Chains A and B, each alone.
Chain A
Amino acid sequence: MKFLPYLLKHLRKNWFRTALTVGAMTLCIFLFCTLQSVLAQINTLLDSRSAKRLVTRNSVSLTFPLPQAYQARIAAVPGVERVATSNWFGGFLPVKKEGKADEGSSSTTDWSNFFFNLAVDLEPFLAMYPEYEIPPDQYQALLQDQRGCVIGRKLAQKYGWKIGDTFYLESFIPTHRKADGPFEFVVRAIFDTDPVKYPGTDTTLMLFSRKYLYEATGRTLQAGVYYVEIKDPDDAGRISSAIDALFENSDAQTHTETEKAYAAGFVAMAGNLALLLNGIGLAVTFTILLVVANTMSIAVRERRTEIGVLKTLGFTSRQVMGLVVAESVLIAFIGGALGVFGSQGIMWVMTHAPGLKSLLGTIGLRELNLRPLVASLGLANALFLGFAAGFVPALNAYRARITDMLRTV
């Protein structure tokens, strides 16, 4: 510690260069922490999916619906426990309580009030999702009221909704609108979840009866996707193939996959996201290693005489080497710490800024936190980079002969 003021004075001497190097390290660790946090959240999300649930969708695209008649045929496939139809409603708050629905496009939609709302076959759907824990009396009330909905605890907290409260939603999807105005909903149930048992479960979700949507939109609604619960997770491959084989020669062919694969498809629409993010992180890290190593080499070259003086005064080669490495590590630590704080900051912004929050919500990243492990890895990464960058210049300082270093005077 007694050498710390000495190191800090050197860093302050060339403050602009130090600031740039620290900035480069900050950027590196910021990217590392942010990208790893996103990946970790995605993995948590995917891992929380039950292996017993399959999703059947139109093989062309998610945006193409499936005939309602498929439900019974899927349910008849051996090994299938139950089937629930689901449609993404696409509803927004707040909208007009009365009068005609807005004919405008989605560009007029207030994205700050976006939350996921699904129209589902409530009974089978909730039966296959033990994650959503609903008190029995609320569950019964939900089934008895067609306008009833169940919302997650966080959603209820966000809007201050209680059991019995009424609110209105209007969908940006044209086929999910009705002529006489927005849909009215009554909060009949609020679900909680066990975060230990079911990590990554979204409690900002709203579910309501698909029958309400079906009847209100003129009974023309087709199925968005089918959620299929199977008896044996090991049978997922066979059952998926069997379901898809059923509709092989139909107009609307299906694609059935595990819910995990389905969710992974959502977050990886642009390709292999993990590979992409890790690739970016690695490239940035390597670049910063070169930047810091170059900075330290220049610093040591500029201080040849000083190194000679230190050795003359009695500093051992190892101590001089230690000072050079310590300076590099100190720069890296400051940059790393700033990067970690910056990452925490940007994730707070991402999960609180209305537009961004909604955008991330569409791929399931409603929760985004800098995990202690990621922060620790980020700092460790910074320290390693600092050490690696300072090692070669330090080794040169270690090997340098006093007479050679003083000769440059």
Chain B
Amino acid sequence: MSALRADLRSLATMLLLVATLAACGGAPATAPDAPTAAPEAPTAAPEAQPITIRIMTWHGPDGNTAYYEGYKTLTDAYTAANPNVTFEFVYQPLDGYKELLDTQFVAGSAPEIIHMQPWMINEYANKGVLHNLNNAYNSTSPYVDGPAWIASFAGGEDTFAGVRSSNKFGGIFFVPSDSSAVLSIGQPFYYNKDLFRQAGLDPENPPQDWEQFRAALAALKGAGVIPIAADNGRWIGWSLGQVGYQFGERYVDQFYDAKFTGDRGLEFYWDKVYLALANGQLTDAEYYGDMLSLWKDYAQYWQEGWTGTAEADAPNLFMTGQAALLQSGFWDFQSYSALIGDKFEWGVFPVPVITSATSSFGIGKYGAPAGTQDYGFTVNAAVESDPALAAAVIDFLQYMTSLEAQTTYVGIAKSFSPVVGVPIPDEIRGFIAPEALATAREVVGPSFIEWGDGAIWPGLSQDFLLGNIDQAAYQAEVAASSQEGAKAYVESMLGPDGFQASIAAAQQTLADLQAEGASELMIASQQRTVENLQLRYEMMQTYYTP
């Protein structure tokens, strides 16, 4: 038996080794880079037990932006002041980001802090996997002078009202980053001035409305230049957005009573759109004809074979001087500056507006400053089981959004900040839409397409743009798809786990706050949350036709 024991011992040792190696292999990616700027020292420290906070983001060390460098500077500064708290970055490009996140949540291994885009936040919040930050926002922050952390964000409490109304818990589930609720920040065209000159266009006077834009595109095409670099990924949604969200301002208000419209209605705008989609009221709006034919006309100015061009290849066309225009955001400013260098002269101009000269339905203006926060860092609800970890996560997020930390951050990342008083870097001022034209609100646009089945609508859109299916068939298919999804959402909200449960939970929170003698601001904020939930419930009960 001793021989057997020896064998079993060997086996156990081997298994231990294998398990250890597997554990090493499975560890999340950790970013090794050093900070590039002197960190600001935080002033408070959570409990002293060792804590590791994982931050998941699509801005990685090898990305095109300096965002990662900015985040790393802040985490290093925080660790310097709180040596028991360390950070690990989990980097995943946006392509595959949600897929990875889905599997991590299902496996219970999602990071503590997760960077999310607007559409992800509500989806995950409604699934109950994110931590509700209501109480944290309404409490004081050690890094902010004032009664509550929420007051340190530009626009204050009001800019979170819509956020609370857009999920079924009436909560705030993210800390804003790299954005501003009080500025209209556009996603303009980067353009090659040399190619404009080559086509006989004045590069210092880029097109401002769609007619001028179309003429410029035709001139570029005529000069043998690719007017716009397109791809088979995000461009479909982006190009649709450029054209589509210039139609249908406040279009859904016609379906609802006055108590659900106006400024208060802004707070549950998305519910109004979902409800109209579910009721089939957005299957065929009168502006769709113009909107879709304009979009299809626009496609003739994209490079040949764009449906076979990957997302990463479209910028190459612009960088190599083959395409005159490329749409992107301020986040690419630094990397494009470096990549283009002195190869050609370039600039940016906003997406031209669609005025009545192009379509009688064109609204001729840009979206108003959102007035609402839209994206940022969320917190995994799993931290609630570890109070020390939860406290450290909240404390870090409060530090990260302090005036000092944000000022340091935007200086490195060349980004916008959601925090009051943080300066705007000069390099990106050109990305702010002209104030006089930035007034459009509640623009319904192509929601009936974009809110459809994600497995189908991009392919259907390509078929439509390539002329493989006609407009009526396209419109009918995408509308049916989005109606199905909207119905499922509305019915789930009208079910026992929907509004009824959310209102009961929100009322209980309100009662608890009152019993605890919470501040007036917190109580008023929670009261508004309850009222909004009740209004949304009433609206869906009143108007939904199964």
Q: Do A and B bind each other?
A: no
* Residues of chain A having any CB pair with chain B under 8 Å: none
* Residues of chain B having any CB pair with chain A under 8 Å: none
